[in-house]
């Protein structure tokens, strides 16, 4: 672990630049350390993860205290909130909203106040649990992913190297503070690296343009909206790096960003259970539709349905597996992390991908929804979606395989855009891809169901 502390840059000089939206590192450390004294010995603490400095103080306090932090989405429904708070074993909720715990009966401890202390608790062991992040699985209630301090440190150090991220950067984003993207990368990253953070509250083209950052994080929906506001997009030309993640960036949006901002975005790949494992580099290629190379300390491979390794030829699609220091400790079971199955040390991501001879990765998508087996062919949904997005009438597209008595699965596209004859879109794709990759059916919809990170929820399309 680089440095003795997970959030090493937080312990800098009192006159260091502001950490978050002008909140100084000295003030953040004093407030968080005082709160940490109240949390010592708790099995876990929940944080009402609203955008703002109170969430940053609360998460920092839990990490200083060595208590696992459980971020709770501020818009969580009653059942989701109750499940997360009960399953995690959280002893209390940190929030300035007295009603943050809903009707669960969990005590709520306020975050804001004038209390400060210079007495910082000793650094917990690297293998101690740091975060419990809940993921929405396709079946059953959300599962608690347990991440250690060592995994967080390894992941952030690898990204700092890949993106040449330093204390001189100013990071800008408006992402939610309860996921890997917005919280781990977007908050803990600056506190480890030493860069300043400007959180815009809500992401938007004009808020991003006004922030004056050198490093910007966004999901594809944000970058699409930035491109739809050309004047705001052009104001990002002074930035050093634009990073896109959490979902595939459509190729047309990639190209629009190049035209408007003068630079190609950096794409990366990861998941809650592995943190970020693959990324383009600040000083390397940026390839539309691809997410780059494994970061330091991570290895990857693709395998067939029997688990046999597949060739890295850029064409063969296989199940993506990863191994390395960024892996989670397991899913929470009975108050402890139950280690995941790791045959040979490899973790199966559930995603399918291709890997080229030079190591570059293209993520096809989830094996359950984005790998379509139609007429004896294996078709990646993302490739078909990108082809559709090149049509001027198409604003958004999501492709899935639906049961078909002859083909096995029928390639079906859900399209948001101007109404055009479906056969025109089918022919448009067939001209650009192999004929067997064309959609057999086009369904026009007013919008696509998405989660908080902008990912299309394809299970709802079914």
Q: What is the pLDDT of residues 88-109, one digit of tens each?
A: 999 999 999 999 998 899 999 9
Alpha carbon of 251 to those of 85, 210, 227, 324, 443: distances in Å? 40, 26, 13, 30, 22
CA distance 165 to 394: 36
Would you say the CATH fold of 186-328+345-365 matches that of 8-158? yes
- Running DSSP on this structure, what letter comes out for residue 185? I
CB 29 within 8 A of CB 7: no
Rounded Cα distance between 253 and 227, Å, is 7
Distance of CA 299 to the CA centre of its chain: 19
Q: Quick one: pLDDT at residue 426?
A: 95
Tell me how far apart the alpha carbons of residues 134 and 234 are, in angstroms, rounded to a whole number.
37
The CATH number of domain 8-158, selected from 1.20.1290.10, 3.20.20.150, 3.40.50.12780, 3.40.50.720? 3.40.50.12780
Measured distance CA(306)–CA(279) in Å, rounded: 27
| Regions of the chain short of the pLDDT cut 50 | 1-2
CATH topology of domain 371-461: GMP Synthetase; Chain A, domain 3 (3.30.300)
Q: Among residues 295, 278, 296, which one has the least CA distance to residue 287? A: 278
d(CA 373, CA 228) in angstroms, rounded, equals 35
What is the C-alpha separation between 159 and 292, in angstroms, rounded? Answer: 12
Using left for φ > 0, alpha for ψ between -120 and 50, and beta otherwise, residue 275 falls in left
Can you give the length of the chain in residues? Answer: 462
DSSP 8-state secondary structure symbol assigned to residue 159: H
* φ and ψ at residue 320, rounded to 5 degrees: -85, 130
Do residues 443 and 400 touch, judged by C-beta distance below 8 A? no
Q: What is the pLDDT of residue 95?
A: 96
User: What b/e string do you get for 67-89 counting C-beta neighbours within 10 Å, with b at 16 or more?
Assistant: bbbbbbbbebeeebbbbbbebbb
Label residue 46 left, alpha or beta by phi (over 0 means left) and psi (-120 to 50 means alpha): beta
Residue 38: both structure tokens together: 């109240």
The CATH class of the 186-328+345-365 domain is alpha beta
Between CA 384 and CA 288 the distance in angstroms is 14
The structure tokens listed for 369 are 């929804």
Instruction: State how far the Cα of 230 lies from the Cα of 330, in Å rounded to an integer.
Output: 44
Q: Where are the domains of the chain?
A: 8-158, 186-328+345-365, 371-461
**Where does 228-350 have alpha helices with state H?**
230-234, 251-261
Give CA–CA dist 74/81, Å, rounded.
Answer: 9
Span 332-376, pLDDT tens digits? 998 899 999 899 999 999 999 999 999 999 998 888 778 888 877
């Amino acid at each position: 672990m680089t440095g003795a502390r997970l959030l090493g840059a937080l312990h800098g000089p009192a006159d260091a630049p502001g950490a978050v939206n002008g909140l100084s590192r000295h003030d953040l450390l004093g407030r968080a350390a005082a709160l940490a004294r109240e949390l010592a010995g708790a099995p876990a603490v929940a944080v009402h993860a609203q955008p703002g400095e109170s969430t940053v103080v609360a998460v920092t306090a839990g990490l200083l205290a060595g208590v696992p932090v459980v971020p709770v989405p501020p818009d969580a429904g009653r059942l989701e909130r109750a499940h997360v708070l009960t399953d995690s074993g959280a002893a209390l909720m940190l929030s300035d909203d007295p009603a943050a715990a809903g009707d669960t009966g969990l005590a709520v401890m306020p975050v804001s106040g004038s209390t400060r202390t210079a007495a910082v608790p000793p650094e917990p062991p690297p293998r101690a649990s740091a975060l419990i992040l809940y993921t929405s699985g396709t079946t059953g209630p959300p599962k608690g992913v347990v991440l250690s301090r060592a995994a967080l440190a390894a992941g952030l150090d690898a990204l700092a190297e890949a993106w040449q991220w330093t204390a001189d950067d100013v990071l800008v984003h408006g992402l939610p503070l309860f996921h890997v993207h917005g919280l781990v990368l977007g908050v803990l990253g600056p506190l480890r690296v030493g860069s300043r953070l400007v959180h815009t509250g809500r992401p938007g083209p004009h808020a991003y343009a006004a922030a004056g950052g050198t490093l910007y994080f966004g999901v594809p929906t944000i970058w699409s909206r930035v491109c739809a506001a050309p004047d705001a997009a052009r104001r990002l030309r002074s930035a050093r790096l634009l990073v896109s993640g959490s979902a595939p960036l459509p190729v047309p949006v990639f190209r629009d960003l190049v035209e408007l901002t003068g630079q190609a975005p950096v794409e990366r790949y990861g998941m809650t259970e592995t943190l970020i494992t693959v990324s383009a580099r600040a000083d390397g290629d940026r390839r539309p539709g691809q997410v780059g190379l494994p970061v330091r300390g991570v290895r990857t491979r693709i395998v067939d349905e029997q688990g046999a390794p597949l060739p890295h030829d850029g064409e063969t699609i296989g199940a993506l597996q990863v191994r390395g220091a960024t892996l989670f400790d397991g899913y929470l079971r009975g108050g402890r992390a139950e280690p995941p199955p790791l045959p040979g040390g490899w973790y199966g991501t559930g995603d399918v991908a291709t890997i080229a001879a030079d190591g570059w990765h293209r993520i096809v998508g989830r094996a359950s929804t984005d790998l379509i087996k139609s007429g004896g062919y294996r078709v990646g949904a993302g490739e078909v979606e990108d082809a559709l997005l090149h049509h001027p009438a198409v604003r958004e597209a999501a492709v899935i395989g639906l049961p078909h008595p002859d083909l096995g699965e029928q390639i079906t596209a859900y399209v948001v855009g101007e109404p055009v004859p479906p056969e025109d879109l089918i022919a448009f794709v067939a001209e650009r891809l192999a004929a067997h990759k064309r959609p057999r059916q086009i369904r026009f919809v007013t919008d696509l169901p998405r989660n908080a990170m902008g990912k299309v929820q394809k299970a709802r399309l079914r």
